[in-house]
Structure 1
């Protein structure tokens, strides 16, 4: 990766080279007045959820940095301010992006414990990269644990837009939209065009089938409106991963979902995350 092109005393936006093209990044330097705690690599959410959660990600990154963590935020290929169109995004390419970013971050900090911090689908991507990157910990914010669930929710946005007359089409179900995707090879949802290779890769990713290295998973989520189902899913995955030395800590958080509404904050999520990571050695 190249050295940052721009810098400020605390925050350094820059682009790094990764085939194809470049990726936009923001490095949050750790507070020099406290003991270094390690590094945190942010893995953003999918499509419009990424934009809606940007403020929360920035606020938490600053909080992590103030505690002594070095934090790197970056946009995956085809997302945000990185090069490429969204329809060109591919799951394996995103995993390569994360490996390059993690290497840069560890080189910058001189090693130390690495945490992957995934938001929504970014949580599943972080889990899928864990075997390769071997982090000391994984931070999950309201993660999808099954890729097909994510894609179905994404497609329901198009169904809702059709009902409101904001999108063309007469499909009445996600199955019908998937049939259109199979025929055309791509589909547009809310201004985001996805291609069938990415959809298939996300569909096939299930946290229950992933092998994680020994680490601690801090899982933050608002369990409403179905707390029993959420807690059962956490317990099921925790039992599977425990066989490989993974310890899951579930942190229920009340408050709004910042990735579902118009650029809002969830102070309870910020407070809960900061409390946990402010107490780590």
Structure 2
């Protein structure tokens, strides 16, 4: 039986801390994974799925580390005071902590969900494989979608006219904006906007998993183009669409068991 995860706070710069959960397998780990959560409220909606997947991976022999990025979950600081560079530094912290927990040459994976993939797609100075769950290929699009939450909230009052331009003007001036209960700072917005899901660093493996409620679903042309860019850069990419809801955005907490099964099989 797999024990409960080890919950601990990882020291960070300035006396801050990052909440981490380490899921240890029984025996020698087949691989080690660092999980990078999605953006804002999508993180909260995805916690149950992430927890179930971590347990399933640990039961299959993989070591998994979850980390709450700066200003997220139970980690130090406020979301509005966090920047993209802070989150990049947190990934490095997580990788160091994972190395300490799992020494040796077990294959390393960055497992990311949605906008977490934009953070994962960087050169980390070492061989890293990628497990993408429904990755977003454009940070600019991710930011626009997040800002549209404000527009949707204001439409009923008729105050949405010109609001998108106002939000962008505020961010460009270095001032934070309030979106769906989150204070979004300029440093985080600009970093997200500039991020792209493009290959970087030494080529390895990519397991690209997407969800759909349609049985005949296929990858979008944008996704196909992104996959090709990784393949052209020398990465071995496998794509799969599995049945399930977009649990990161549903009104109620939902699960996609087929995604967990496909994930374990992909890494096996």
TM-score, length basis structure 2: 0.90
Distance apart, 1:148 and its partner CA? 0.7
Which residue matches 2:5?
Answer: 11
Which residue matches 2:183?
Answer: 193
Which residue matches 1:84?
Answer: 77
Task: From 131, 134, 142, give the equivalent of 1:139.
Answer: 131
**SS at the partner of 1:248?**
strand
**SS at the partner of 1:251?**
strand
- Residues 17 and 43 from structure 1, CA distance in 2 versus in 1: closer, same or farther, beyond 3 angstroms? same
Which residue matches 1:64?
Answer: 57
Moved more, 170-179 or 210-219: 170-179
**Conservation of the 8 A alpha-carbon contact between 1:90 and 1:198:** yes
Alignment of 1:241-252 (within 5 A): 241-252=230-241
Alignment of 1:195-214 (within 5 A): 195-208=185-198, 210-214=199-203
Whole-Å separation in 1 of the counterparts to 2:150 and 2:5: 37
Alignment of 1:86-165 (within 5 A): 86-111=79-104, 112-128=106-122, 131-164=123-156
**SS at the partner of 1:250?**
strand
Whole-Å separation in 2 of the counterparts to 1:234 and 1:137: 18
Whole-Å separation in 1 of the counterparts to 2:248 and 2:126: 28
Deviations 1:196-221 (A, max 9, x none): 1211111111224x424211111111
Which residue matches 2:23?
Answer: 28
Distance apart, 1:93 and its partner CA? 1.3
Distance apart, 1:183 and its partner CA? 4.8
Deviations 1:56-107 (A, max 9, x none): 0000000010011111001001111000000111111111111111111112
Whole-Å separation in 2 of the counterparts to 1:170 and 1:109: 50
Distance apart, 1:231 and its partner CA? 3.8
Distance apart, 1:146 and its partner CA? 0.5
**Conservation of the 8 A alpha-carbon contact between 2:118 and 2:138:** yes
**Conservation of the 8 A alpha-carbon contact between 2:137 and 2:223:** no
**Conservation of the 8 A alpha-carbon contact between 1:159 and 1:172:** no
Whole-Å separation in 1 of the counterparts to 2:255 and 2:233: 35
**SS at the partner of 2:259?**
helix
Unaligned stretches of 5+ residues in structure 1 = 1-7
CA RMSD between the two structures = 2.3
**Conservation of the 8 A alpha-carbon contact between 1:116 and 1:135:** no
- Residues 127 and 162 from structure 1, CA distance in 2 versus in 1: closer, same or farther, beyond 3 angstroms? same
Whole-Å separation in 2 of the counterparts to 1:56 and 1:259: 9
**SS at the partner of 1:188?**
strand
**Conservation of the 8 A alpha-carbon contact between 2:213 and 2:244:** no
Distance apart, 1:110 and its partner CA? 1.1
Distance apart, 1:224 and its partner CA? 7.1
Deviations 1:110-137 (A, max 9, x none): 1321100011110111112xx1153441
